[in-house]
Amino acid sequence: MTSNESAGCNFCGSPKRRFVMSGPDRMVFKPGTFTFYECENCGLLYQHPQPPWSQLAEYYVGPEYDSYATVLQDEASPLSRSIKRLGFIKQRRYIEQFCPSGSLVDIGCGSGLFLEEMQLSGRWQLSGVEPTISQGEYVRQRLNIPVQLAPLEQVNIPSNSQDIVTMWNVLEHLADPAQAFSKCWEMLKPGGHFIFAIPSPESIGRQVFGPYWVGWELPRHLFAFPQKTLTQKLNTSGFQVIDRACFMITYFTFGNSLKFWLQTWSPNYKPIANLIERLYYSPIGRGLFAPIQLGLERSKKASVITWAVQKQR
């Protein structure tokens, strides 16, 4: 894979960087070794060289990416519907503490489960953006919600038209997050909120698992955003940070980091590694992890952190 070797930091433009980590694709096992650096000027963590989308698209394949979750109305099991909905209820309630109703666009809406939850509340005028055509069409057909089938930089959403813009674990995948901030700022009404979830490099998961931390997810994650660095960039982009919270997929992300680490164990120890993984995902394991999850979330040290920022008037 090739990229401009002299390319500077996306946030500050500095070409000076220091090595952080390198590794393979641990999710779908495509070939290649990829490297993260830290900007010596502003602290942004970024993959370099950054693969062009024509090559990176090859890494969004396999069971993790080829299939997608169905909306609740297509879920046969009442129990599965209830379990699946819990996380999206948390997202809706988090948003509605800042804005109880209005217009909302979800960037990277996938197959629409979050939009479906917002639709169920009956208080929102909804739309989505999704570059994967099959998923965007699914949302259009099953939820009757308009979706623009294009990358963020190509979408056409009127300026000052949205009360809320959301991105759930999308920003780290974008080739130009600085441009994404500008685009979201333009969409929002004065005083509107941009709410997004991203991997947190200050998490305990990164400290425990190091290069196996799920937040790297090479090569699909192009950036990781330290709190201080991101706050400064948001401020210069016209936003004020209102809140940060951890309440999303903590158990799942810790489990993925554990899985990536166990993959490196010697074949002689694979039976033990498999036993550890099965135990973690068992009801007993989930119960044992529950107090740890609570501690990680309350201390804001979980692997995924949600930011709420407001467009300055």
18-29: pLDDT as tens digits = 999 999 999 999
* Start-end of H helices in the chain: 53-56, 63-66, 78-96, 113-121, 133-143, 177-187, 204-209, 227-236, 250-262, 270-280, 283-298
User: Is residue 34 one of the residues assigned to a domain?
Assistant: no
Residue at 52 is within a domain: no
Q: Which residue has the higher pLDDT, 280 or 71?
A: 280
Q: Distance of alpha carbon 98 from its chain centroid, rounded? A: 21
Does 175 fall in a domain?
yes
pLDDT digits (tens, 9 = 90+) for 116-139: 999 999 999 999 999 989 899 999
CATH number where 265 lies: 3.40.50.150
Report yes or no on 36 lying in a domain. no
Domain that holds residue 114: 60-311
Orientation of helix 113-121 relative to helix 78-96, angle to 10°? 70
Instruction: Count up the domains in the chain and report the number.
Output: 1
> What pLDDT was estimated at residue 68?
60
Instruction: Report the pLDDT value the prediction gives residue 79, as an integer from 0 to 100.
Output: 75
Cα separation, 242 vs 249, whole angstroms: 22
Helices 177-187 and 227-236 pack at an angle, to 10 degrees, of 50
* 263 found inside a domain: yes
Is residue 212 a part of any domain in this protein?
yes
Look at residue 4 in the predicted model and tell me its pLDDT. Answer: 43
Residue 24 in any domain: the answer is no
Q: Would 82 be classed as within a structural domain? A: yes
For the stretch 25-66, pLDDT in tens is 999 999 999 999 999 999 999 999 999 988 998 998 776 665
